Amino acid sequence: MICIGHRGASAYEPENTIRAFKRAIDMGCQGVEMDLRRTKDGKIVVIHDETVDRTTNGKGKVSEMTLEEIKKLDSHGEKIPLLSEVLSEVKAEIFLLELKESGYEESIVKEVKDFNLLDKVVFVSFNYDSLKKVKEVGGEKIGLIYETQPYPIQVAKSLKAYAMLPSYNLLNRIHANELKKNKFFVIPWVVNDVSILEKMMYFKVDGVITDKPDIMKQLKYLRKGNETLTI
């Protein structure tokens, strides 16, 4: 079962920064998840919210600021990174790129292609039209994020999705089996608690998205003797 650092190791480092992504890899994650938005001058940057207010010392909408303005901001000692900076500096086996907006799919796929990382990237979103567009412009692997029912299995099948990303509390044995039967790569979010991690293992998910990569190691200590699980 693989570990994906949610916004990096965001429980320990400023979210969606190079420091957080590198920390997740250092803590044993195979992959990192990040959120993508577009600046006023069309640059792809890594930030979760529509505005910079919560995570930096600035104020305003990302879409109304130039890259130069964005780069002046401080995010707990770090800068908001460009997607290209993350792709060049972070050595991950899997990058989950979450599209928080639409209309920039082609630019994102192009950047990934420029780094020759198409095989390591899964483009993910709550916006399935955006994922459809990603496929049309050459993105290979897509993943549907969801947190409510009905489960979007039919949409995922019609889009030939690679991954399914349910909120962990939507998973039960029946749904997990259905996902596996359809050969999706299943990665629930955001698993920050060891008891939930154990439950996810029981459902045989392929990986978890977590703010706390160290829970993967804690898991071993919960089991006794020959009950120890290999991760």
Interface residues with ligand G3P (CB under 6 A) are: 6, 33, 35, 48, 98, 124, 145, 165, 189, 209
Query: Taking the complex as a whole, how short is the minimal distance between the CB of residue 123 and Ca ion, in angstroms?
Result: 12
Residue nearest to ligand G3P (CB): 189
Query: Taking the complex as a whole, how short is the minimal distance between the CB of residue 209 and ligand G3P, in angstroms?
Result: 5
Q: Count how many residues are written for the chain.
A: 231
Determine the distance from the C-alpha atom of residue 158 to the mean position of all C-alpha atoms in its chain, rounded to a whole number: 22
Nearer to ligand G3P, 41 or 147 (CB): 147
Q: Is 175 a catalytic residue?
A: no
Q: Which of 40, 48, 113, 175 is catalytic?
A: 48
Residue 150: which residues within 8 A CB-CB, separation 6 or more? none
Residue 227: which residues within 8 A CB-CB, separation 6 or more? none
* Distance in angstroms (rounded) separating the CA atoms of residues 7 and 47: 9
Instruction: Pick one of Ca ion, ligand G3P, none as the site partner of residue 216 (Cβ within 5 to 8 A by kind).
Output: none
Do the beta carbons of residue 125 and residue 131 sit within 8 Å?
yes
Query: Taking the complex as a whole, how short is the minimal distance between the CB of residue 224 and ligand G3P, in angstroms?
Result: 33
* Distance in angstroms (rounded) separating the CA atoms of residues 156 and 160: 6
Q: Which of 3, 5, 6, 108 is catalytic?
A: 6
Instruction: Pick one of ligand G3P, Ca ion, none as the site partner of residue 47 (Cβ within 5 to 8 A by kind).
Output: none
* Distance in angstroms (rounded) separating the CA atoms of residues 183 and 20: 31
Instruction: Pick one of ligand G3P, Ca ion, none as the site partner of residue 191 (Cβ within 5 to 8 A by kind).
Output: none
Residues that bind Ca ion (CB under 5 A): 35, 98
Closest CA to 7 of 189, 133, 159: 189
Instruction: Pick one of ligand G3P, Ca ion, none as the site partner of residue 189 (Cβ within 5 to 8 A by kind).
Output: ligand G3P
The first and second tokens of residue 85, run together, are 């900076």
List, by residue number, the catalytic residues.
6, 48
